[in-house]
Amino acid sequence: MREVAIIGAGMAKWGELWEKSLRDIFVESALLAIDDAGVDKIDSMYIGCMSSGLFVGQEHLASLLTDYLGLGPVPATRVESACASGGAAVRAGFIEVASGISDIVLVGGIEKMLDVSGDGATFALATAADQEYEVFNGVTFPGLYAMMAVAHMEKYGTTRKQLAHVAVKNHHNGSMNPLSQFPQKITIEDVISSVMVADPLRILDCSPITDGAAALILCPVELAKKICKKPVIKIIGSGHSTDTIALHSREILCELGSTQRAAEKAYKMANKKPEDIQLAEVHDCFTIAEICVIEALGFVEKGKGGKATEDGLTALGGKIPVNTSGGLKSKGHPVGATGVAQVVEIAKQLRGEAGKRQVQNARVGLTQNMGGSGGSSLVHIMEVL
């Protein structure tokens, strides 16, 4: 298996992109990644997208986006794993390069979510839950994660204020990211007094609906050393796991087994331990999600995620900065693009290109991207050479 490097990363501003079509948004970020890599050819392409058919009525993205990027007849594949579609696309591209099938692979993620009503977006996102046992009975994702929050509070004593600390931290980080959808800073009181969505989660505990894309260029490490003018970022670990799609089928509601197992695989491949990770981008679709994820990744003990966040362990300047980009909460969450954008942020950090939110002397970073309420999870570990 060949070693795999990231040589290009591209992402434009996320938000309510009314004036741009899905294809425009994708091509913009893909061209940024190609320019960043300095390459003049692409051997193949993987596109993470959850539900373009429901959001904009467009399927067959592999052909469409290859065409509009001017890369036809390059082989391209769309990858879907709910909100983990971007992370799954990164893994697919990683495997393609590692196997020797292709030398230069473009990995992109895309979702245009705001062309439908709020009800339409809720319907589309709910397809990532169990339709017969959850959605039919009226549950949406805020409700599912609210159940996880209540279970975590009852089992470990996690507080409402600790949930709010996640949002405040991530908006602070996002205020320094010019690409964020919601870059404004917020306070604990802002979160706690915001509109209730599903008790105990309020609107400022929830990630937004977003239009956006992100892209990467992958190639073998040996080739990267010859052609890359920037620090070479090596993908040293990749882990993927699934769990029951229905939350009620899990033994413990507030634990993310798919994330824990994916992390174990990635740590083993990378020959790293949780304490070796210097920063991470994780799937904070709701504030409770980040708390559960940092526990599943082994950054803190089970049940200590809320207290660790409150104490500043995951803040910039803390022991393990989490979501320096602003995370899904502030940067935005165009579901098919999120997993790719997480890798873009880690690549920028490891290159020393993150500006005011730069983690000093960062050498090893991790991303965690999950679908649904944790029915699928991808973990990648990267190191600067």
Cite the active site residues: 83, 333
**Which stretches of the chain are DSSP H helices?**
22-37, 52-56, 61-68, 85-99, 118-126, 141-156, 160-174, 188-193, 221-227, 257-270, 287-296, 305-310, 327-331, 338-351
Q: How many CA atoms lie within 13 A of 158 on its CB side?
A: 31
d(CA 289, CA 292): 5
CB distance 284 to 207 below 8 Å: yes
Strand-by-strand arrangement of the 4-10 sheet: 76-79, 44-48, 105-112, 211-220, 4-10, 233-242, 376-384, 364-371, 279-281
Contacts of 147 (CB under 8 A, 6+ apart): 247, 253
- Tokens, residue 366: 């991790």
Q: Which residues pair with 237 in a beta bridge?
A: 381
- Return the ∠ at Cα 247 (arms to 292 and 135), rounded to 5°: 125
CB distance 106 to 45 below 8 Å: yes
Q: Angle at which helices 85-99 and 338-351 pack, to 10 degrees?
A: 60
At residue 261, what are phi and psi to the nearest 5 degrees?
-70, -40
- Tokens, residue 331: 């940067």
d(CA 260, CA 143): 23
Q: Residue 148: name the closest of 277, 312, 265, 296 by CA.
A: 296
Contacts of 281 (CB under 8 A, 6+ apart): 322, 323, 324, 325, 327, 342, 343, 345, 346, 365, 366, 367, 368
Coil, helix or strand at residue 327 = helix
